[in-house]
Amino acid sequence: MAEEKHHHQLWCGVEEVTTYGETTNAYGSRGSKYSESTDASYTRQTCQQKFLSFQVDNLEFLREMRINPIKVAKALVEVFAEMIFVHGFVHGDPHPGNILVAPEGPNGFCLVLLDHGIYKQLDEEFRLDYCQLWKALILQDSNKIQQLAERFGVGKYSRYLPLIFTGRTTESKSALGRGMSAEEKKNLKQELKSLKIEDLSSFMESLPSDFLMILRTDGILRSLLSKLGAPQRVRLLTYAKYALYGLSPKLNPETDLGAKVFSSRFMANMSYLQLRLVLEVLEFLSWIEEVKHSFVQRFKQILISAGYLVRNLLTLSALTP
């Protein structure tokens, strides 16, 4: 939807718009609304609502409304992560015109999703495999990635899945979200030279349709997050968290005991915290390695500079009568 000028007002009915948390009417009878300044609360929309809203990537509007773009980015990625990993739905066209941000309260906001004619319900087996894939990607578990790639029909190209989704290979020593080192990029460039057009065509043709749609959606989201100024790590950790939620047993709060629901959520949160701990330790070790490398390089530079200084002093003394 094209934006008009500032203070554009959008009228929308319950069948046309979805606020954060309700990704599609296929979720069932539950609708929801999310305000950044409060916790998500599920409510049923029963009448038309009037939104003062702009496209999610309108940075000028966000600045005027004193809305933090990074918080918008985090809310946005959580919307789609929960939608895909937990509920098994994917919005096929999340371009900025289909995602609006509206101010709500002092410095708060809500996200509005439009155009629900292109949702796709993911196969349940695929959804679980995709959750497992993201857990393996974050932990750099090459064996599990290989196993899942074979289930997706692209076992031959399993080593490229981490590169596609996380920007690094399973052998990469760089921290999550930091990208690869210059040496790693050089080695990968050499490796990619061996790939042919036929290999790329074979890879794309072998992927399930669910996978292809997620790839497209993820690519658009990455572009939006980048424009909003969010580091890649935000997307990666959010995906990891909701992948673990998606692997938890599905319980119905209305029929299952509260203790059972709490226990399931608690275990999912604990798994996520354990994953975060592993990542933080790996990042700390990577930082130590970087400091060590930097120190060695700096020390070499000092030695070289000292060598030049001594040589110049000796030359000067030799020339002095």
pLDDT of 79-99, one tens digit each?
A: 999 999 999 999 888 889 889
**Cβ atoms of residues 96 and 220 within 8 Å:** no
Of the listed ranges 37-46, 90-99, 115-124, the least confidently predicted one is: 37-46
What's the whole-model pTM score? 0.69
pLDDT at 73 > cutoff 80 = yes
Q: Name the nearest CA neighbour of 78 among 234, 214, 280, 228.
A: 234
The string of pLDDT tens digits covering residues 221-261 is 999 999 999 988 889 889 988 998 898 876 555 655 566 65
Q: How far apart are CA 253 and CA 262, in angstroms?
A: 9
Give me 48's structure tokens. Answer: 């038309």
- Portion of the chain with pLDDT greater than 90, in percent: 28
SS3 assignment, position 114:
strand
> Is residue 70 within 8 Å of 78, Cβ to Cβ?
no
Both ends of the chain: CA-CA distance in Å?
84
**Per-residue pLDDT at 47:** 29
pLDDT band at 77 (very low <50, low <70, confident <90, very high): very high
The secondary structure element, H or E, covering residue 15 is: none
Q: Which helix (H) or strand (E) holds 248?
A: none
Alpha-carbon dihedral of residues 281, 178, 127, 97, nearest 10 degrees? Answer: 140
What does the pLDDT read at residue 147? 96
DSSP track, 18-38: EETT---GGG-S---B--TTS
Please confirm, yes or no, whether 93 is among the known catalytic residues: yes
In whole angstroms, give the CA distance from residue 124 to residue 88.
7
Distances (CA, A) of 23 to 46, 53, 117: 17, 18, 12
The answer on pLDDT for 210 being more than 70 is yes
Annotated active-site residue in 39, 57, 93, 123: 93
- Burial category of 19 from C-beta neighbours within 10 Å (exposed 0-12, middle 13-18, buried 19 and up): buried
Adjacent-strand bridge partners of 12: 49
Question: Is 2's pLDDT higher than 60?
Answer: no
| Predicted local confidence at residue 176, as pLDDT | 67
Contact present, 34 and 17 (Cβ < 8 Å): no
CA-based Rg of the chain, rounded to a whole angstrom? 25
Q: Are 41 and 31 in contact (CB under 8 A)?
A: no
Place of tokens 């292809």: 212
What is the rounded CA–CA span in Å between residue 256 and residue 259?
8
